[in-house]
Amino acid sequence: MTNEISSVFSSTHFPNPTLISVNGVELEVFEAGKQNAGKPIVLCHGFPEHAFSWRNQVSALVAAGYHVIIPNQRGYGNSSRPTEVTEYDIVHLTGDLVALLDHFGYEDATFVGHDWGANVVWNLALLHPERVNKIINLALPYQERGEQPWIELMEAIFGGDFYFVHFNRQPGVADAIMTENTSQFLRNIFRKNVPPTPPEPGMLMINLARAENPLGEPLMEDNELSVFVSAFESSGFTGSIDWYRNLDRNWHLMADVPPIIHQPTLMIYGEQDTIPQSENLKNIVPNLDIVSLDCGHWIQQEKPEETTQSILKWLEQQNA
């Protein structure tokens, strides 16, 4: 890690990482508030992100009495990047979080997820309900399992250029283009106040990697963006994209798991997000509270103070 990135961590009160061996891999884990042992909260990032995406929540959570644990999940940062695609399925991803709790000696924890991290947390609550005491998920509501495997369904609805489908049908193509244009791709995807525009032809992630003039405004300062750029210049994108390449496998793996989530749950939406809000979430998550913030997809980075206060207020109510 460069001194420049270490100084960014220091200026944002973001902890330095430790490599921890769990579940057959090494995870790069950022930990704060060890003095609050016994009250763990695990923050799970999305795509194409990094544990650093939670930088604005750490200090307040520690001050509120939490032991904050933020892994770079497998495929990301300095965590392991297995070469077998199937090692990124939902059993492995949730297994990493269970093993992380075991490492710290915790029976359960509060889990917070954004984007793909939210998907992992939803499924963790289904596969290992005894390890999850509360859920806070951002951007991605629980995705109900239909009668068709995910990629087949998405291809029928959105076509072969839809990025989920493209990642699966043309493995390696997008990975290479995004890796060739790492800095430009991340600069272009991490935007806010993006005007609504009709979808352009082609594959979204490849278009973002090649676009010279991004829409909207930068989501973060250049020194913060450099943390993401440095991480992906080192890791490439294949490990993180392999999460998408397990969607159909996950569809089969979850076939016999009843989709009811009993833990108290807070769902935080961005009102300008392109991911639609779920009309049926309350039926799957009976103990549900919902907050909507006036922002796009990158909720905790775009609206850091509002996100943090929403989380703390809800946790305080749950713990009362």
pLDDT digits (tens, 9 = 90+) for 196-230: 888 889 999 999 999 999 999 999 999 999 999 99
Amino acid 248: pLDDT: 98
Q: Do 285 and 143 contact (CB within 8 A), yes or no?
A: no
Residues whose CB falls within 8 Å of the CB of residue 283, separated by 6 or more in sequence, listed in order: none
How is residue 278 annotated by DSSP? P
Residues whose CB falls within 8 Å of the CB of residue 117, separated by 6 or more in sequence, listed in order: 43, 44, 45, 46, 49, 73
Per-residue confidence of the chain (320 residues) as pLDDT tens digits?
556 677 777 777 799 999 999 999 999 999 999 999 999 999 999 999 999 999 999 999 999 999 999 999 999 999 999 999 999 999 999 999 999 999 999 999 999 999 999 999 999 999 999 999 999 999 999 999 999 999 999 999 999 999 999 999 999 999 999 999 999 999 999 999 999 888 889 999 999 999 999 999 999 999 999 999 999 999 999 999 999 999 999 999 999 999 999 999 999 999 999 999 999 999 999 999 999 999 999 999 999 999 999 999 999 999 98
Indicate which residue of 89, 96, 115, 242 is catalytic. 115
48: buried, middle or exposed (CB in 10 Å: 19+, 13-18, 0-12)? buried
Strand intervals (E) in the chain: 17-22, 25-32, 40-44, 67-72, 109-114, 132-138, 191-192, 217-218, 265-270, 288-293
Question: Which among 7, 1, 65, 80 has a CA at the least distance from the CA of 32?
Answer: 65
Token digits for 255? 């076939």
State yes or no: is 115 an active-site residue: yes
As a whole number, the mean pLDDT across the chain is: 96
Indicate which residue of 67, 92, 114, 297 is catalytic. 297
pLDDT tens across 182-202, in order? 999 999 999 999 998 888 899
Question: Which among 26, 67, 29, 68 has a CA at the least distance from the CA of 51?
Answer: 29
- Residues present in the chain in total: 320
The upper half-sphere exposure of residue 121, i.e. CA atoms within 13 Å in the direction of its Cβ, equals 34
State yes or no: is 262 an active-site residue: no
The upper half-sphere exposure of residue 169, i.e. CA atoms within 13 Å in the direction of its Cβ, equals 14
**CATH 3.40.50.1820 is the classification of domain 17-319:** yes
Amino acid 5: pLDDT: 73
Q: Strands 265-270 and 288-293, how do they pair?
A: parallel
Token digits for 93? 């991803």
Token digits for 237? 């994108």
What are the boundaries of each domain within the chain?
17-319
Amino acid 196: pLDDT: 86
The C-alpha atoms of residue 289 and residue 275 are separated, in whole angstroms, by 18
Amino acid 93: pLDDT: 98
Q: Do 114 and 275 contact (CB within 8 A), yes or no?
A: no
